[in-house]
Amino acid sequence: MINLAAMKTVKNPLLVTGSVAYDTVETPNGISKRQVGGSASYASIAASYFCKPSLIGIIGEDFTEKQIFETHQIDLSGLQSQSGKTFFWHGKYKNDFKERDTITTELNVFEHFLPSLLPSHQKIEAILLANIHPALQLHTINQIVNPKFIATDTMNLWIETARDNLEKLTKKIHLLIINDEEAEQWTNETNLRKAANILLEKGPEFVIIKLGPDGALLFDNHQERKISAFPVNEVVDPTGAGDTFAGGMMGFLAATSQFDFESIYTAMKYGSSLASFCVEQFGLKKLVGLDANSIHRRVNRIF
């Protein structure tokens, strides 16, 4: 069994960039207003169970919840604070949780955000570009001195509206994380092995295609492997599950400093275990305050 406590004392760094947000989320189980969200929030908290994340992002003067990150020993020296409001997103799920409508996206302080990395951040070798405009993801990695492993998450919006930047970005990364619908949207291919081949040709060495409650697939040019998802009793709020999966997985990889196919396959189980906790409560409620044993117990039930 991998010793999470030992990993935490090693404290390998992971650079995480993405959104820090206030979210209003409506699900068949109720509504949660202005909960802390954002791709980088979920990802960095998940990663913090294994490594020392440095969070690169921006908040407005209305953001009063920095202690959530501080409690998880996340480095906030790259979190800019500006006058104006924090990014705001409002989403509403349909009955089966499979479909989600975006009701509002207010960029607010994100509108003029340009990530500027401190010299200490530029030297970090493991990087997770959580979901954010691909131009900002590109701007971030262009400042990294000697990247060893860059993983990127994205969303349907950017595949539709920022394809050029996304294609420039994929040339420079090692791992692309995407869900099945996005893979199909990007490649016009419903066969996921074929879709993965098209995406691999764009540059990354590995592609992960997430399948929601059915787990996730890992591809490289020679092989593919599937993991299941942990069967939760009740999904309350799936927001951020993908970001949590990516953060947990990259946190684990950064901690072990191994970035080969087998290591990614193992790391996916840790990401999936954390994502299963995430969906059991609104927002970050269940994701904060976990312990190593509970994370392991679920990893052992993912195949």
Which residues of this chain interact with ligand AMP, rule CB under 6 A? 19, 21, 23, 37-39, 89, 105, 131-132, 157, 239-243
Pairwise CA distance, residues 238 & 202, whole Å:
29
- Give the number of C-alpha atoms closer than 13 A to the C-alpha of residue 193, restricted to the C-beta side: 6
* 32 versus 54: smaller Cβ distance to ligand AMP: 32
Q: What is the DSSP string of 89-143?
A: EEEEE-TTSS-EEEEEEE-GGGGG------HHHHT-SEEEE-SS-HHHHHHHHTT
**Residue 285 beta carbon to ligand AMP: minimum distance, rounded to whole angstroms:** 13
**Residue 238 beta carbon to ligand AMP: minimum distance, rounded to whole angstroms:** 6
* 79 versus 241: smaller Cβ distance to ligand AMP: 241
* 62 versus 220: smaller Cβ distance to ligand AMP: 62
* 7 versus 178: smaller Cβ distance to ligand AMP: 178
Closest residue to ligand AMP: CB criterion? 37
CB contact at 8 A, 200 and 221: yes
**Residue 10 beta carbon to ligand AMP: minimum distance, rounded to whole angstroms:** 28
**Residue 21 beta carbon to ligand AMP: minimum distance, rounded to whole angstroms:** 3
Helix runs in 117-240, H state only: 119-122, 134-141, 156-161, 163-170, 180-187, 192-201
* 204 versus 238: smaller Cβ distance to ligand AMP: 238
* 210 versus 269: smaller Cβ distance to ligand AMP: 210
Q: How many CB atoms lie within 10 A of CB 102?
A: 12
Q: In the structure encoding, which two tokens stand for residue 174, read together?
A: 């090692």
**Residue 102 beta carbon to ligand AMP: minimum distance, rounded to whole angstroms:** 7
**Residue 18 beta carbon to ligand AMP: minimum distance, rounded to whole angstroms:** 7
Q: C-alpha dihedral over 133, 64, 249, 126, to 10 degrees?
A: 70
